[in-house]
Amino acid sequence: MSAQGGFAQIAAEDGRAALVTVLDGAAAGRKLLVRADGTTDGGLGDGALDRVAVEAADELMWAERSEVREYDGSKLFVDVTAPAPRLVIFGAVDYAAALVRLARAAGWRPFVCDPRSQFATAERFPEAEDVIAAWPEDAFARVGGIDRATYIAVLTHDPKLDDAALTIALRSDAPYVGAMGSRRAQAKRRERLLAAGIEEELLERIAAPIGLDLGAVTPEETALSVMSEVVAVRNGRAGGRLSETAGRIHEVGA
């Protein structure tokens, strides 16, 4: 199958890949398919150009945007296809139900995980991609592992579950790991995780208390606070007020 055909098939299957096309010069029209696992098909006719293309493809397929890149006088179009990002929520609580609804409305794929099977039911979370009644290690395995498009929110308030989920999440490729709880609860959690051998620099990855400062009170407002922070992190933004920022409002257009 050609690189173009392979890319079309991956896109049809809602997979992740990038197709790099040379736009100008003697090699114009050559294509290189780069899959999420790093395997490739096709080629651009030059080893150095192929290496640059693979690096750009790997970056952009996880950033989930298509872009034109230039290298040594050549223009490359990196066309990206990717599934919707995943939000893995630990804790089948009321806040989780509101967060699932909002994540789904925003086009994300929300998963709910909790070993307490009486709470982790599809009936309670009908809009979830899946509801998994399992401990964190098994739950992460059942969602297909943690990749660079998996965002994690820990909402349980149960130290046993919190710590187990965070221990795995902090050592993963997840770009966002958030945890609910008061500042006092966060301090106690930090002490427990340090005692369990989690490195100090990994603890700095935790967004805690979780969410943006919206003054949220209800589960729905709290879900908005959390989802706002997740979207900001995904887009490389700080999450401040647009009226107080300069430059483009959006990455493309204005």
Residue 253 has pLDDT above 60, yes or no: no
CATH number at residue 203: 3.40.50.720
List the domain range (segments joined by +) for residue 38: 3-81
Does residue 118 share a domain with residue 93? yes
Residues 96, 155, 229, 85, CA torsion sign = negative
Does residue 125 share a domain with residue 227? yes
Question: Helix, strand, coil: what percent of the chain each, to 5?
Answer: 35, 20, 45
Q: How confident is the model at residue 254 (pLDDT cuts 50, 70, 90)?
A: very low
pLDDT of residue 251: 56
Does residue 15 share a domain with residue 71? yes
Q: How confident is the model at residue 157 (pLDDT cuts 50, 70, 90)?
A: confident
Does residue 108 share a domain with residue 57? no
The tokens for 103 are: 């994540």
Residue 254 included in any domain: no
Residue 247 included in any domain: no
Does residue 12 share a domain with residue 26? yes
Q: How confident is the model at residue 133 (pLDDT cuts 50, 70, 90)?
A: very high
Does residue 125 share a domain with residue 94? yes
Q: How confident is the model at residue 249 (pLDDT cuts 50, 70, 90)?
A: low
Does residue 210 share a domain with residue 104? yes
Does residue 175 share a domain with residue 65? no
Terminus-to-terminus CA distance in the chain, angstroms? 39
pLDDT digits (tens, 9 = 90+) for 164-196: 999 999 999 999 999 998 889 889 999 999 999
Residue 73 included in any domain: yes
pLDDT digits (tens, 9 = 90+) for 12-24: 999 999 999 999 8
- Across the range 105-134, mean pLDDT stands at 96
Determine what percent of the chain is predicted with pLDDT higher than 70. 96
What is the rounded distance in angstroms from the CA atom of residue 100 to the CA atom of residue 134? 18
Does residue 121 share a domain with residue 76? no
Residue 104 included in any domain: yes
Residue 124 included in any domain: yes
What is the rounded distance in angstroms from the CA atom of residue 182 to the CA atom of residue 213? 13
pLDDT of residue 252: 47
pLDDT digits (tens, 9 = 90+) for 76-107: 999 999 999 999 999 999 999 999 999 999 99
Residue 231 has pLDDT above 90, yes or no: yes
Residue 240 included in any domain: no
Is the N-terminal amide bond of 219 cis, ω within 30° of 0? no
Residue 164 included in any domain: yes
Does residue 102 share a domain with residue 20? no
Residue 27 included in any domain: yes
pLDDT digits (tens, 9 = 90+) for 36-73: 999 999 999 889 999 999 999 999 999 899 999 998 88
Q: Give how many domains the chain has, as a whole number.
A: 2
